[in-house]
Amino acid sequence: MNGNGAALQVSDIRKTFEEGSQRVEVLRGVSLHVAAGEVLALEGPSGSGKTTLLSIMGCILTASSGELSIGGEPVRARHEAQLREIRRRQIGFVFQQFNLFPALTAAENVEYALNVKGHRGRAAHQEAVRALTQVGLADRLHFLPRDLSGGQKQRVAIARALAGAPPVLLADEPTANLDRESGARVLELFREVSKREGKALVIVTHDPKVRAVADRVLSMHDGLIAA
* Rounded Cα distance, 32 and 177, in Å: 27
Query: Looking at beta carbons only, is 35 or 205 nearer to another protein?
Result: 205
Query: Looking at beta carbons only, is 116 or 226 nearer to another protein?
Result: 116
Query: Looking at beta carbons only, is 18 or 227 nearer to another protein?
Result: 18
Please state the closest distance from residue 33 (CB atom) to another protein, in A. Answer: 22
Please state the closest distance from residue 9 (CB atom) to another protein, in A. Answer: 21
Query: Looking at beta carbons only, is 69 or 99 nearer to another protein?
Result: 99
Please state the closest distance from residue 182 (CB atom) to another protein, in A. Answer: 17
Contact at 8 Å (CB) between 137 and 156? Answer: yes
Query: Looking at beta carbons only, is 103 or 226 nearer to another protein?
Result: 103
Please state the closest distance from residue 141 (CB atom) to another protein, in A. Answer: 13
Query: Looking at beta carbons only, is 43 or 111 nearer to another protein?
Result: 111
Please state the closest distance from residue 4 (CB atom) to another protein, in A. Answer: 28
Interface residue list for another protein (CB under 8 A): 51, 54-55, 58, 60-61, 81, 84-85, 87-89, 93, 95-97, 99, 101-104, 108, 111-113, 115-117, 120-121, 124, 160, 172-173, 176
Please state the closest distance from residue 176 (CB atom) to another protein, in A. Answer: 7
